[in-house]
């Protein structure tokens, strides 16, 4: 069965398992490991020796912080609403652009794409201008 696949069919899984997976792991592990190791240290030992006793209580303290719980709640509510809004607006828009023939269809599709070209701070600036006049603190 394997002989039918040819040399590439045989080498593919070997390349993937022996070279690519360890390479990805090598790339990802140091940064993740650093984050994990630093997250269990107090600020006083941010540059610890090779081994220092981890303080796992920091995780418990962080999860019990009122600011963290509030920010997590805000995050979930805002992202849920953003996703729902983009589904409600985006799917019918994409359906109309994909299925119906009308004048300027490609131009509208390109306009959608063109918002991605703009530097993000440009969009933030307009939001900031609006919020400074009618923002949540007014």
Give the residue, chosen from 30, 120, 133, 134, that forms a contact with another protein under the rule CB under 8 A. Answer: 120
Nearest distance from residue 115's CB to another protein, in Å? 10
18/70 with CB nearer another protein: 70
Residue 97 interacts with another protein (CB under 8 A): yes or no? yes
CA angle 74, 62, 75 (to 5 degrees): 15
Angle formed by the axes of helices 57-64 and 66-99, nearest 10°: 70
Q: Please give the residues from 22 up to 61 whose contact with another protein meets the rule CB under 8 A.
A: 35-36, 38-43, 46, 55, 58-59, 61
By CB under 8 A, how many residues form the interface with another protein?
52
Residue 71 interacts with another protein (CB under 8 A): yes or no? yes
Helix (H, G, I), strand (E, B) or coil at 111: helix
Nearest distance from residue 81's CB to another protein, in Å? 9
In the Cβ-directed half-sphere of 63, how many Cα atoms lie within 13 Å? Answer: 5
Residue reference for tokens 């923002």: 135
């Amino acid at each position: 069965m394997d002989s039918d696949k040819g040399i590439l069919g045989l080498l593919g899984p070997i390349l993937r398992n022996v070279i690519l997976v360890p390479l990805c792991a090598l790339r990802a592990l140091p940064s993740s490991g650093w984050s994990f190791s630093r997250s269990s240290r107090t600020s006083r030992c941010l540059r610890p020796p090779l081994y220092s006793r981890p303080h796992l209580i920091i995780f418990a303290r962080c999860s019990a912080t009122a600011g963290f719980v509030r920010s997590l709640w805000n995050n979930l509510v805002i992202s849920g609403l953003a996703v729902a809004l983009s589904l409600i607006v985006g799917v019918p828009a994409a359906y109309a652009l994909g299925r119906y023939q009308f004048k300027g269809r490609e131009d509208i599709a390109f306009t959608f794409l063109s918002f991605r070209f703009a530097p993000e701070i440009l969009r933030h600036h307009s939001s900031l201008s609006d919020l400074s006049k009618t923002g949540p603190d007014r």
